[in-house]
Amino acid sequence: MQGNRRLLTALFSRVAQRVIPNRIGGTGCLVRNSEAVWATIDFVSLTAADRGEVLHVPSAARALSGLVISGLLFGFLGAILPAWGYHLTSDFSTIGNYFLAMSVGVILSTEAAGRLLLKRGVGSLLVTGCALACSALLYLAFLPPTAPALWRMAGLLLIGFATGLLNTGVFHAISPAYDRDPAATVNAGGISFVMGCLAVTLLVGGTFYAYTVTSILVLIAVVPGLFLIWFARGSFASPVIVDQPSIAQLFRDLRRPGAVLFALLLFFQFGNEWSIAGWLPIFLIHRLGVSPKLSLALLAIYWLALLVGRLAAVGLLPRIRHGRFLLASAAAAVFGCIILLQTDNVFGAVVGILLVGSGFAAIYPLIAERIGREFPYFHPGFFNGIFSIALTGGMLAPWTLGHLADQWGIGMVMALPLAGTCMVFALVLLVWLEAKIRLG
């Protein structure tokens, strides 16, 4: 009887994913690249039984914990820059090149991850990702302080590559749990990811004056090393390969105004989010003159605002129209960016960070929900046609900021996300107008 019940549950979950796309179309903790992790909190209320079902799936809890490492690696560069001494210089273009190296690593990992998945399986992918992450962090730890920036870029390229491998492995490993309960799975994954980002920020901030940079990096490297052992001792189900959209689908999307608008939304929103997360400490140090430790504490507040905002949306969205909520979130983010750009004190910075974090919390998941409803082949866990171009372009925003800040000053670090958030607000209105015209 128990076996029949599980079979029926799995069948119902698969049918629900096709029949009720507006319910789960935005669930996206299942990511191949670092940017889609921001969609890992869906807006579906969970019961205690739902959460238990996820944990009862074999290897689900073990795989979901991999998102802690993904978050740790994703938040690493923004947290470590002050420890590398970039709060004392204005070499912003070099910082931008560091972000470029990580982005290239993530992009390069997609093809390699698919091949390794087919040949060696999910467990090997997770172990390899953790091993590469640990090795890259140790490599950066023992680099001489006077080493050329190109040497650090090599380590960051490897970290980006490891992040891509981990995210692909996690996606396939939690597929059984996702089939049984998408909402519980994505919520647990989202919490895991943001906790990883928060953990690396607190670790660097808490040890900033107490330990050397080498010691801090060795401590961070221990975390993926421990997970490597844990993953190596576990077992994971065989991967289920999902077909990807063809080149023909890409050109068909380019002729659809709705697809282009959604792609632009992804481009600007992801660029905004990663720019803030990566550049906030350096911006606050140069603009307000705060200490590196305080700047990292403020970055931790940003991660907390993002997490709390997404959790709060679970209760708010059933009572609020999603279109209005999206507009309100974009407006809050715009207002927060304006405050951060204009403030000259820590209190104003905290207010701006809270508004930006809570505003960003709902934007990407709501966009993914709409895309999933209107473009059934889209899945936030993969590069998908025109949407992959948008996400890849958004990854280059922090790199662009570095070169703009070199020419126009540190204010560009917040001015560009402000302009991008205004574009998101305008595009939300255009998406609403296009839908009204198309549907009559």
Distance CA 283, CA 302 (A): 14
Q: What is the pLDDT of residue 39?
A: 35
Distance CA 173, CA 427 (A): 35
Please report whether residue 9 resides in a domain: no
Burial readout 263-298 (b: 16 or more C-beta within 10 A, e: otherwise) = bbbbbbbbbbbbbbbbbbbbbbbbbbebebbbbbbb
Long-range contacts of 309-313 (CB under 8 A, 24+ apart): 309/357, 309/358, 309/359, 309/360, 309/361, 309/362, 310/41, 310/190, 310/194, 310/361, 310/362, 310/365, 311/41, 312/358, 312/361, 313/41, 313/43, 313/361, 313/362, 313/365
Please report whether residue 171 resides in a domain: yes
**Overall number of domains in the chain:** 1
Structural domain range at position 239:
21-439
For residue 327, count CB atoms less than 10 angstroms from its CB and return exposed for 0-12, middle for 13-18, buried for 19 or more: middle
Distance CA 385, CA 375 (A): 11
Per-residue pLDDT tens over the stretch 309-342:
878 876 776 777 877 888 888 899 999 999 999 9
Q: Averaging pLDDT over each range in 177-186, 241-250, 251-260, 319-328, which range is the top one?
A: 319-328
Please report whether residue 216 resides in a domain: yes
Mean of pLDDT values over 120-145:
91
Asked whether the beta carbons of 416 and 240 are under 8 A apart, the reply is no
Distance CA 329, CA 339 (A): 15
Q: Which of 16-25, 156-165, 177-186 has the weakest average pLDDT?
A: 16-25
Please report whether residue 15 resides in a domain: no
Q: 401 or 90, which is more confident?
A: 401
Asked whether the beta carbons of 372 and 320 are under 8 A apart, the reply is no
Using the predicted structure, report yes or no on whether residue 178 has a pLDDT greater than 70.
no
Please report whether residue 7 resides in a domain: no
Using the predicted structure, report yes or no on whether residue 36 has a pLDDT greater than 80.
no
With pLDDT > 90 as the criterion, what percentage of the chain qualifies? 35
pLDDT band for position 18 (cuts 50, 70, 90): very low
List the one residue out of 432, 302, 434, 404 whose CA is nearest residue 356: 302
CATH code at 60?
Answer: 1.20.1250.20
Q: Averaging pLDDT over each range in 225-234, 278-287, 327-336, which range is the top one?
A: 278-287
Please report whether residue 1 resides in a domain: no
Please report whether residue 4 resides in a domain: no
pTM of the model: 0.80
Using the predicted structure, report yes or no on whether residue 225 has a pLDDT greater than 70.
yes
Please report whether residue 322 resides in a domain: yes
